[in-house]
Amino acid sequence: MVAAVLLWEALPALSVHAQTIVVPTAIVRSRYDSNVFRRPTQLLAPGTQPQDFVTSMGGGVDLVHKTRDIEADVRMGGTFNALVVNPNLNYFAALLSANIGLDGWVDRYVRGARLNVTENLRYSPTLPSFLAGARDVPEDDSLLQGVQGFRANTLYSVTEAKGSYPLSRDVSLEGGYRFGLRRVGRIPGAESGFADLVYFNTMTNTWHGGPRYQLTRNDSVAALYKQMFISQERPGGSRTVNTNVINFAAEYEKAYQEWGFSIQGGVTFVEPGGQVFPTGTLEVKTKPDRDTAVRLALSREARASFYQQSGAVISNIGRLGVSHRFYERLTLDGTVAYALNQYLPISSDQTYQNLTATSRLAYKLTRNFTGEIFGLYQYIDSNRSGLAYQFPRFELGFMLTMEWK
């Protein structure tokens, strides 16, 4: 490892073009996981050891391309993960993340128009239940359900395009389309008695749109319409279940350089069943000083239910993230997230709850070499007739990252 660090420090950043930078990355990660199966011990075969030590090694590439017309940030990579106690669970994980801004290109044809395209693809048996942070990083909110199902190989992909078209100086028409796909494999170690536990291969098509009025330079209001079509089937090719979710909402947004605020409220219809629910979101982002960032988000939305029950689920989520840089080399991050998912039809005995707290202390050893220690605590409470369980889980580990920026 020492030799690899010295060699990497000697390598220059790769420049494919004057406006294109390729940043190679290598990581080594070691952690203790109290429950690698992601399920309570009473649902494991006798003699199974859920605790394990996991070592991850891998790397990736970050490609940044900027011109007057296009700003693109594409990240791809993979890791091999080896377990000590349960080597039969060794796995390979891969990810692809792309954020492409085309504002300059569309502005050539329509003054003031905007367009952005994103892609998030992940393959892993341990997809996260939350993706949340405090700083301004693009995040995929499709994973913000708080649902952490039992360990199973999962291919997850979301492609989205969104933009706006100016109708006048103060009024614009905004909209977008999102295609989501989630396919789940076999649950490792699944014995008899799992008839009530099932994943659903899920495909979603979502489009949204509506007018936005710019009240001032920093304030705007919008009336939004969103419709999501959910198509699902059990692994193995059983019958298809279709769900239609329609949302009407009003939104107010205020944005400054150091902080932003948005609130949205409306009503959601779920078919079949003709069920109606109040929904909404609240988000506050602020930077009290140059080295501190705080983010608070609350939401109540209808999302695709891929675990235990098909159709839609009402997700009630609260998240708080704080990041503070003590000085140029040392940064501390912390997040707390809580989710209450209500299966339909809503009742007190058809819920899924998740409390997750994470912390991370990162120290920049050199310009390109970063070391960090991290911890995670999670408590799951699945209260559903036929399959009810509760269990805590925690992780503790360290990671070394090498990247040339």
Query: Which has the higher per-residue pLDDT, 246 or 132?
Result: 246
Residue 333 has pLDDT above 80, yes or no: yes
pTM score, two decimals? 0.86
Domain hosting 361: range is: 2-403
Task: Report how far apart, in Å, the C-alpha atoms of 368 and of each of 24, 362, 402, 404 are.
Answer: 11, 13, 6, 5
Predicted pLDDT of residue 15: 47
Mean per-residue pLDDT, 107-124 = 92
- Give which of 339, 296, 300 is closest to 321, Cα–Cα: 296
Lowest-confidence region among 17-26, 85-94, 301-310:
17-26
Instruction: Give the model's confidence band at 12: pLDDT under 50 very low, under 70 low, under 90 confident, else very high.
Output: very low
- The reported pLDDT for the residue numbered 42 is 85
pLDDT category at 140 given cuts 50, 70, 90 is low
pLDDT bracket for residue 131 (50, 70, 90) = low
Q: Which two tokens stand for residue 57?
A: 């090694």
CATH number, domain with residue 102: 2.40.160
Number of domain units in the chain: 1
pLDDT at 143: 61
pLDDT tens profile 179-233: 999 998 877 655 545 555 778 899 999 999 999 999 998 999 999 999 999 999 8
Q: What pLDDT, in 10s, does the model give residues 54-86?
A: 999 999 999 999 998 899 999 999 999 999 999
Write down the pLDDT at residue 137: 44
**Average pLDDT rounded to a whole number, residues 348-375:** 90
Q: Is the pLDDT of residue 3 over 50?
A: no
**The pLDDT value given to residue 189:** 58
Share of residues in the chain with pLDDT > 90 (%) = 61
The residue-averaged pLDDT of 4-28 equals 63
Residue 113 has pLDDT above 50, yes or no: yes
pLDDT averaged over every residue in the chain: 86
Residue 2 pLDDT exceeds 50: no
| Residue 24, number of CB atoms within 10 A of its CB | 17
Give the pLDDT of residue 141. Answer: 63
| HEC per residue, the chain | CHHHHHHHHHCCCEEEECCEEEEEEEEEEEEEECCCCCCCHHHCCCCCCCCEEEEEEEEEEEEEEECCCCEEEEEEEEEEEEECCCHHHCEEEEEEEEEEECHHHHHCCCCCCEEEEEEEEEEECCCCCCCCCCCCCCCCHHHCCCCCCCCCCEEEEEEEEEEEEECCCCEEEEEEEEEEEEEECCCCCCCCCCCCCCECEEEEEEEEEEEEEECCCCEEEEEEEEEEEEEEECCCCCCCEEEEEEEEEEEEEEECCCEEEEEEEEEEEEECCCEEEEEEEEEEEEEEECCEEEEEEEEEEEEECCECCCCEEEEEEEEEEEEEEEECCEEEEEEEEEEEEEECCCCCCEEEEEEEEEEEEEEECCCCEEEEEEEEEEEEEEEECCCCEEEEEEEEEEEEEEECC
